[in-house]
């Protein structure tokens, strides 16, 4: 009965999550005698065994693991979940040595204005306030555990360890540990800021993200905080939807089930296909996001013509991670995701729509400051295709015609989303990119699109 409560808690929480560095739950089959939990297959075992086998890791490798862990933990906190048992034994590795956070049996839901008080987790990784039985909000105890994990990655040992439990607790409550001399100055700065006994003075996830040690070589898909579950459910993949519908499932029922987060054969098929495709990118925004960012927006000047921009994007698509031709960028190169502005969001969107109208781009509003766009040199004039689409508040549909591909050399489809970032800035992000001519070319070469 104790295990049943633990499993049901884990099921309840994992059903919320869709993140590349959190273990995926696909289906739960509950029978009178058993509960079958169908989860993502992770073949390379625990991070704990990896550390034991290799000893302390080089900073570059440790940083890669740590960046993935922090991204997953941040996602949990954004969805109001605190893990409370973060340790290398609960961090699994897939076939590409990417981290998958697992074992949410001790996790709990955070509520505004409410504190947690359960003393749980593994003593070596537990925060001082947890082992002391004090009240805690949640995120700060995960930050402490992440600090212990980072120490273990870089040092091959634990900062707090003693066979005598009272002595161990004394060390943890006093924050008594030593930093090896081989650590870099930035690592020696970050770890003590995470292992602060006073939770009010402990570094936050946001501050960890901004730390110089953390930002070195940060992958682009981890550079922007992940969308929460509610946002992800709204964004359905048309290609995967069609694949599932072709299996014989009803389209309306499938879409309704996905929006309501129901678990049935159709939704399981959808998420299996989706994850299998996104697994090539290790990014929650998928391959299209990587393709759209392959040529940095900062390099596209105002003098660039639509045709040259499209050629830029076509080249980016051909060398996307989905086709095994991932670029290797130097660690010290700075990347700017999208265009940042301090202007009012309505002013930003108004300027965007003016630019789209001038370029004869068709668009459809799909959410707050979020729209799907399509552009092709073969389109008729913008005015003849769109209806009352001169303000962001109006709805319109992207015109779909069967003979469109015959009139145009290629079609570019993309999504625009305006995000609010820290420091009261707004980020205009290009989230998707699709080039019909490239896909046709790949099919002719024998590749599957």
Residues sharing a CB contact under 8 Å with residue 93, sequence separation 6 or more, in sequence order = 42, 44, 45, 46, 47, 50, 99, 100
Distance from C-alpha of 56 to C-alpha of 446, rounded to nearest angstrom: 45
- Give the active site residue among 30, 34, 49, 85: 85
Distance from C-alpha of 139 to C-alpha of 105, rounded to nearest angstrom: 17
Residue 228 known to be catalytic: no
Distance from C-alpha of 232 to C-alpha of 261, rounded to nearest angstrom: 11
Residues sharing a CB contact under 8 Å with residue 326, sequence separation 6 or more, in sequence order = none
Distance from C-alpha of 77 to C-alpha of 142, rounded to nearest angstrom: 9
Angle between the N-to-C axes of helices 238-246 and 251-259, in degrees from 0 to 180, rounded to the nearest 10: 130
Both ends of the chain: CA-CA distance in Å? 48
- Identify whether the C-beta of residue 67 lies closer than 8 Å to the C-beta of residue 150: no
Distance from C-alpha of 278 to C-alpha of 416, rounded to nearest angstrom: 20
Point out the residues that are catalytic. Answer: 85
């Amino acid at each position: 009965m104790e295990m049943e409560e633990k499993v049901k808690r884990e099921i309840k929480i994992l059903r919320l999550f869709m993140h590349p560095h959190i273990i995926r739950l696909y289906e739960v089959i509950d029978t009178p005698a058993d509960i079958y939990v169908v989860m993502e297959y992770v073949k390379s075992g625990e991070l704990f065994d990896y550390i034991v086998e290799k000893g302390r890791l080089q900073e570059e490798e440790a940083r890669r693991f740590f960046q993935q862990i922090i991204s997953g933990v941040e996602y949990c906190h954004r969805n109001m979940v605190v893990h409370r048992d973060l340790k290398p034994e609960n961090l699994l590795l897939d076939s590409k040595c990417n981290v998958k956070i697992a074992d949410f049996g001790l996790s709990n839901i955070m509520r505004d204005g409410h504190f947690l008080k359960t003393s749980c987790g593994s003593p070596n990784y537990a925060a001082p306030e947890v082992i002391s039985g004090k009240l805690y909000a949640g995120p700060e105890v995960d930050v402490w555990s992440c600090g212990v994990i980072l120490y273990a990655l870089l040092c091959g040992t634990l900062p707090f360890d003693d066979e005598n439990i009272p002595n161990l607790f004394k060390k943890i409550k006093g924050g008594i540990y030593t930093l090896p001399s081989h650590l870099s100055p930035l690592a020696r700065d970050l770890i003590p800021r995470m292992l602060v006994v006073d939770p009010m003075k402990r570094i936050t996830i946001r501050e960890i993200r901004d730390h110089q040690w953390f930002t070195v070589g940060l992958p682009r898909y981890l550079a922007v905080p992940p969308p929460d579950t509610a946002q992800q459910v709204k964004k359905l993949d048309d290609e995967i939807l069609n694949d599932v519908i072709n299996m014989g499932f009803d389209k309306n029922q499938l879409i309704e089930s996905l929006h309501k987060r129901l678990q049935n054969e159709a939704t399981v098929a959808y998420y299996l296909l989706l994850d299998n495709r996104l697994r090539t990118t290790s990014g929650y925004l998928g391959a299209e996001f990587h393709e759209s960012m392959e040529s940095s927006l900062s390099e596209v000047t105002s003098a660039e013509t639509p045709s040259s921009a499209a050629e830029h994007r076509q080249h980016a698509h051909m060398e996307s991670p989905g086709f095994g031709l991932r670029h290797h960028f130097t660690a010290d190169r700075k990347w700017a995701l999208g265009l940042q502005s301090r202007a009012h969001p309505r002013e930003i969107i108004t300027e965007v729509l003016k630019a789209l109208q001038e370029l004869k781009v068709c668009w459809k509003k799909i959410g707050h400051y979020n729209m799907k766009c399509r552009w092709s040199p073969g389109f008729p004039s913008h005015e003849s295709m769109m209806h009352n689409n001169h303000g962001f508040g109006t709805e319109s549909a992207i015109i779909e015609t069967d003979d469109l591909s015959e009139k145009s050399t290629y079609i570019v489809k993309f999504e625009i989303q305006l995000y609010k970032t820290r420091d009261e800035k707004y980020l205009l992000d290009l989230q998707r990119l699709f080039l019909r001519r490239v896909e046709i070319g790949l099919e002719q070469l024998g590749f599957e699109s």
